[in-house]
Homo-oligomer: A and B are copies of this chain.
């Protein structure tokens, strides 16, 4: 018998990565509670039990998804507080390159599962370590408060757009440049007002 699909040689690190990728994609679109381990396993073409074997528990899998590519943390590009408004506005703009798009996906995963006790605790860690900390340090004076205000705007836009699917903030073609400028201005206000 001729196989149509090539036999995937047994490869622990590859299957692990496959599961991780499948989980990522699911968690971008559904909440922690909404996603079932069987869904993820099915997407990855793997038995459910294997997830438990590799990641211990659903919570462990989620933690690994969230902390997956931490080396590419959200805020390494901007060098000074002055760059922040423009940087964040670009991040919010939807014509982002692949790298930024992936960073935005991580952000959306955070927002989607922020409720749900187990996932929420993991997310709280991530927010403090990878977002609020670096931001506050970069800003300097009143860093903590300013970082919180910036993050609030970021979260609000993300929730309104990606979770609630309200589309008035979806920048379409013509307005994009103007709208991005407005966001830049808003971020600046959060830093200076």
Interfacial residues, chain A to chain B (CB-CB below 8 A): 30-31, 33-34, 111-117, 120, 123-124, 127-128, 132, 144-145, 147-149, 151-157, 159-160, 163-166, 168-169, 179, 182, 185-186, 189-190, 193
Contact = CB atoms under 8 A, between A and B. Distances in A.
A14 to B, nearest CB: 31
Contacts of A113: 115
Most buried by B among A117, A132, A155, A179: A155
Contacts of A148: 160, 166, 168-169
A34 B117 contact: yes
Nearest to A145: B168
B149 A182 contact: yes
Contacts of A155: 155-156, 159-160
A78 B170 CA distance: 27
A123 B164 contact: yes
Given A124-B165, A157-B152, A186 B190 contact: yes
25 contacts: A31-B115, A31-B116, A33-B33, A33-B34, A111-B159, A120-B163, A120-B164, A124-B164, A145-B179, A145-B182, A147-B168, A148-B169, A151-B156, A151-B160, A152-B169, A153-B156, A154-B156, A155-B159, A156-B156, A159-B159, A182-B193, A185-B193, A186-B186, A189-B189, A189-B193
